[in-house]
Chains A and B, each alone.
Chain A
Amino acid sequence: MNGLLHVAVRSAWNRRGTLALVVLSIALATALLLGLERLRSDIRSSFSQAVSGTDLIVGARTGPVQLMLYAVFRVGGATHNISMDSVRAVAAHRAVSWVVPISLGDSHRGHPVLGTTPEYFTRFAYGDRQPLVVSQGRAFSGTLDGLYEAVLGAEVAQALGYGLGQRITLSHGLGDVKGELAAEHADKPFTVVGVLARTGTPVDRTVHVSLQAIEAIHLDWVGGAPLPASAGLKIAPEHARKFDLEPKQVTAALVGLKNRVAVFNVQRFVADYEPEPLLAVLPGVALDELWTAVGLGERALMAMSGLVALVSLASLVAVVLAGLNERRRELAVLRAVGAGPRHVLVLLATEGALVTGLGALLGAAAAALAVVLAGPWVQERFGIALQATAPTGEQWGLFGAVLLAGMLASLVPGLRAYRLSLADGLSPRT
């Protein structure tokens, strides 16, 4: 048996050119499988790290997933706002520690604008309860003097090349519409007073202003459009401060509890709130639900890379089978010196296993290398933190599956050679 392994290795080495191509294709397939699995699990963890430390998110009554989508991921819009009275009622609940209202609906060059209170910067957390960090400047003051102050997420600052003191104007709505249709709040420009450190969450893409500022820029607006100049009702930025800028409505509110045990009590309280139909979701639960929804695409990707693996294993079988006819002499020699058909089977299966094993190892190394090399870029570009850590259970599973499938696939040419050498006897009959 030892001798057979020696012969298998030497024989494979003799055909190293062809086999190297097969090794390469298996390596690529393995790298694809493992890389995608790494991407999937890290996207998932990035996803679930988008919000933490917030016990409930309260919004108008819609689906929990939709509420999460617009309140946390800034995707889509709210169908209804909630009144500040409701927010105050929730804040008054004895189990509630803090409430941070948020107001969405405007944008700056495609980046969503979030109206909130200064408390947002201390209360909001992501990942493993990591707080937001202001890397340059400061948070907006929330006072009337600082009415037109804005704090940028890291990605907004980087993508648009903004620094402190930059003057920006907000657009009404979420689109990046230009020209005639653009509804600009051009009369009330903002000044950037702070930039947040990168978080890898939607916060990076967000422009933060105070709730009062959101009120101020909409003072002379009716029904989503500025009042025409003919109405003679233009309110200058400094004039706006004289109006009552306390918001009447907000989009949603982040809620922190004194004790998490009360979370279902408060959720029930919100759901049963009489004056207005409200919804409170637990971020973790809603994120899971959301993941199930987007998981379909992810499964399609995995299925695709599974097919790639299948194709490269098929090419392994094809290459070994195609070479088999030329190797009938070799097999006859082995038969003559005492190898049985079973030895021949073992020889070919060993070769297949060696090729698959080498390919899978190379692929795993390539995937790990890609994560290390491309990790910073992916973090920068997509806000996904790729972790160059030990393989996950799923990755081990995929690795094992490739190996096993490769060995099973090698049995196909092995069995063919077995039957050939039984039929050939000492001299190949062609």
Chain B
Amino acid sequence: MLEIRDLQFSWPGASADSGRLAIGRLSLAAGRTAFLYGPSGCGKSTLLGLMAGVLVAQSGSVSLLGQDWAALRGGLRDARRADHVGVIFQQFNLLPYLSVLDNVLLPCRFSPARARRCTGGPVAAAQGLLQQVGLPHTLWARPAAALSVGQQQRVAAARALIGAPELVIADEPTSALDNALRDEFMTLLLGQCRAAGSTLVFVSHDERLAVRFDERLSLPALNRVQGLVA
């Protein structure tokens, strides 16, 4: 599903040993959940950017569903990401001026394929997801800015999952949540990913969460280590 081979990436102007990624081999099967951990600044977000096709490796390949991101031109990469990848950030996931429902529907506006995969139409699918993440329907028409951080993260999860993308990427989505909310969110996210059959790559430095995942990947160990198969 997700394949990385001989990846070399460095940010422009990065020094020799920081801001660089070199990963020999990494592959994830469809429907698996992976926990990616490592200290701050080790390149976790960068690796997610590469997986989502927002960043492109200088050499080697990162391919999703057998398609190397680097082989696609910019516009096609964006379209493919819209079709196959859902993203959740640490915070500030939502456009504050759109309603909760419109935020969830955003991927369908950019990807007709995602919209088609929604059973019963995008709006019904969005409402169903919001219900499943436990957001009371009185909040659906409210602007996203009116929600608490915990509620916003649940809306973000619903948005990442709408149209059942093959890959869901989550960049420390629980770091702004307290313990109770965090556990509730984790259960919800993992359950929804399994239900949709989506592969999940979850980044965190909180290793207590690791037990809930199928696979555990330490980025410092992966980086510049050849031939490691996860």
Report A's interface with B, CB cutoff 8 A: 2-4, 6-7, 10-11, 13-14, 329-330, 332-343, 423, 425-427
Chain A residues within 8 Å of B81, by CB: 338
Chain A residues within 8 Å of B97, by CB: 10-11, 13-14
Residue of A nearest to B52 (CB): A426
User: Once the chains bind, are B89 and A426 in contact (CB under 8 Å)?
Assistant: yes
Produce 1/0 per residue, B40-61, CB < 8 A to A.
Answer: 0000011011001011000000
User: Once the chains bind, are A426 and B107 in contact (CB under 8 Å)?
Assistant: no
Within 8 A of A (CB), among B84-135: 87, 89, 92-98, 102, 106-107, 109-111
Produce 1/0 per residue, B153-184, CB < 8 A to A.
Answer: 00000010000000000010000000000000
User: Once the chains bind, are A340 and B75 in contact (CB under 8 Å)?
Assistant: yes
Report B's interface with A, CB cutoff 8 A: 12, 45-46, 48-49, 52, 54-55, 74-75, 77-79, 81-83, 87, 89, 92-98, 102, 106-107, 109-111, 159, 171
Among B74, B78, B110, chain A packs the most CB atoms within 10 A around the CB of B110
- Rounded to whole angstroms, the CA-CA distance of A2 and B79 in the bound complex is 15
Which of the residues A2, A14, A335 comes within 8 Å of B54, measured between beta carbons?
A335
Chain A residues within 8 Å of B111, by CB: 338
User: Once the chains bind, are B171 and A337 in contact (CB under 8 Å)?
Assistant: no
User: Once the chains bind, are A425 and B94 in contact (CB under 8 Å)?
Assistant: no
- Rounded to whole angstroms, the CA-CA distance of A3 and B114 in the bound complex is 14
Which of the residues A329, A338, A425 comes within 8 Å of B110, measured between beta carbons?
A338
- Rounded to whole angstroms, the CA-CA distance of A385 and B46 in the bound complex is 68
Residue of B nearest to A339 (CB): B110
Chain A residues within 8 Å of B79, by CB: 338, 340
Which of the residues A2, A337, A342 comes within 8 Å of B75, measured between beta carbons?
A342
Residue of B nearest to A3 (CB): B109
Among A10, A342, A343, A423, chain B packs the most CB atoms within 10 A around the CB of A10
Q: How far is the CB of A362 from chain B (nearest CB, A)?
A: 23
Chain A residues within 8 Å of B96, by CB: 14
User: Once the chains bind, are B171 and A426 in contact (CB under 8 Å)?
Assistant: yes
A-B contact pairs, 13 of them (CB 8 A): A3-B110, A14-B97, A333-B92, A335-B54, A336-B54, A337-B87, A337-B107, A337-B110, A340-B74, A340-B78, A342-B74, A343-B78, A426-B87
- Rounded to whole angstroms, the CA-CA distance of A335 and B87 in the bound complex is 10
Chain B residues within 8 Å of A332, by CB: 89
Chain B residues within 8 Å of A329, by CB: 92
Chain A residues within 8 Å of B78, by CB: 335, 338-343
Which of the residues B52, B77, B109 comes within 8 Å of A336, measured between beta carbons?
B52
User: Once the chains bind, are B49 and A425 in contact (CB under 8 Å)?
Assistant: yes
Q: How far is the CB of A276 from chain B (nearest CB, A)?
A: 82
Q: How far is the CB of B156 from chain A (nearest CB, A)?
A: 9
User: Once the chains bind, are A426 and B95 in contact (CB under 8 Å)?
Assistant: no
User: Once the chains bind, are A427 and B171 in contact (CB under 8 Å)?
Assistant: yes
Q: How far is the CB of A335 from chain B (nearest CB, A)?
A: 6
User: Once the chains bind, are A427 and B52 in contact (CB under 8 Å)?
Assistant: no
Q: How far is the CB of B187 from chain A (nearest CB, A)?
A: 23
- Rounded to whole angstroms, the CA-CA distance of A70 and B81 in the bound complex is 78
Known A-B contacts A338-B82, A426-B48; A330 and B110 likewise in contact (beta carbons under 8 Å): no
- Rounded to whole angstroms, the CA-CA distance of A6 and B107 in the bound complex is 13
Known A-B contacts: A3-B109, A10-B102. Give 6 more (CB < 8 A): A10-B95, A335-B54, A337-B87, A337-B106, A338-B78, A342-B75
User: Once the chains bind, are A333 and B93 in contact (CB under 8 Å)?
Assistant: yes
- Rounded to whole angstroms, the CA-CA distance of A345 and B163 in the bound complex is 26
Among A330, A333, A342, A423, chain B packs the most CB atoms within 10 A around the CB of A333
Chain B residues within 8 Å of A10, by CB: 95, 97-98, 102
Chain A residues within 8 Å of B49, by CB: 425-427
- Rounded to whole angstroms, the CA-CA distance of A3 and B109 in the bound complex is 5
